[in-house]
């Protein structure tokens, strides 16, 4: 599994602590440094079963500067949102875990991390 983190984020650090405590085999991706491109964002959104506006941190300064609150939230605007996330990765909700079973989840709670762990291949 892979976990997208911002090391400054307490939820990310908590998720890593739990993964370590469970002895999980995972790869860390510091997505602010190793920025996902638009195709990677699309793939993760597909795995999450979410739309880009569902994983956008709308309280970030960049979101306010871009006026994201006023952007359409429909299929016609999807690519625009994905481009914004690729160009401003700080807008991506975190942590995101891509589980071994092909799914992904936003792991902001211990329960979500446990859910990801339960999806490990036996």
Q: How confident is the model at residue 121 (pLDDT cuts 50, 70, 90)?
A: low
pTM, two decimals, is 0.93
At 122 the pLDDT is 53
Active site residue 12: no
DSSP state of 10: H
Exactly one of 9, 24, 32, 62 is catalytic; which is it? 9
**21-57 per-position pLDDT tens digit:** 999 999 999 999 999 999 999 999 999 999 999 999 9
Rounded mean pLDDT of 96-118? 93
Query: Picking from 61-65, 75-79, 115-119, which range would have the lowest pLDDT averaged per residue?
Result: 115-119
- Mean pLDDT in the chain? 95
């Amino acid at each position: 599994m892979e976990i997208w983190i911002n090391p400054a984020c307490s939820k990310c650090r908590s998720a890593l602590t739990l993964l370590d405590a469970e002895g999980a085999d995972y790869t860390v991706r510091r997505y602010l440094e190793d920025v996902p491109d638009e195709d990677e964002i699309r793939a993760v959104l597909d795995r999450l079963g979410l739309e880009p506006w569902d994983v956008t941190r709308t309280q970030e300064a960049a979101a306010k500067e871009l006026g994201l609150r006023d952007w359409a939230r429909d299929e016609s605007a999807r690519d625009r949102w994905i481009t914004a996330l690729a160009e401003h990765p700080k807008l991506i909700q975190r942590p995101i875990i891509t589980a071994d079973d092909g799914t992904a989840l936003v792991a902001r709670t211990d329960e979500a991390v446990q859910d990801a762990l339960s999806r490990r291949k036996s």
